[in-house]
Amino acid sequence: MTDPIDPEIESAERVRDRVLEAAEHPPLAQLGTTDDCGFSPFGDDTSTARETAYAKIRARVEGTALAARRLG
């Protein structure tokens, strides 16, 4: 739902749309969203910055909630 390597922060609406698209495939009870381990570690020069990772996580949580409301 979010790309840990791309520095662009996805909007909650973009995440929602990806969740809704994914919901067309597996049974809804088996669908979930999670954070990617690619956000760690924060301390080196090649990883995602802490602030970016937190913003992406926030977008995932908000987008998942938007999708859940639509899916019922």
Q: Does residue 35 lie within any of the structural domains? A: yes
Q: What's the pTM?
A: 0.84
pLDDT one-digit tens code per residue, 13-65 = 999 999 999 999 999 999 999 876 667 665 565 667 788 888 999 999 999 99
Count: domains in the chain: 1
User: Which pLDDT belongs to residue 45?
Assistant: 56
Q: Does residue 44 lie within any of the structural domains? A: yes
- The residue type of 35 is D
**Which is it for the CA torsion 27, 32, 33, 37, positive or negative?**
negative
Which residue from 62, 8, 60, 7 is spatially nearest to 36, judged by alpha carbons?
60
Apex 57 CA angle, 67 and 36, nearest 5: 100
Q: Does residue 1 lie within any of the structural domains? A: no
Q: Does residue 47 lie within any of the structural domains? A: yes
Q: Does residue 5 lie within any of the structural domains? A: no
Q: Does residue 51 lie within any of the structural domains? A: yes
User: Which pLDDT belongs to residue 22?
Assistant: 94
Q: Does residue 64 lie within any of the structural domains? A: yes
Which residues, 6+ apart, have CB-to-CB distance to 16 below 8 Å?
Answer: 63, 64, 66, 67, 70
Is pLDDT of 3 > 90? no
- Between 53 and 1, residue with greater pLDDT: 53
Q: Does residue 7 lie within any of the structural domains? A: no
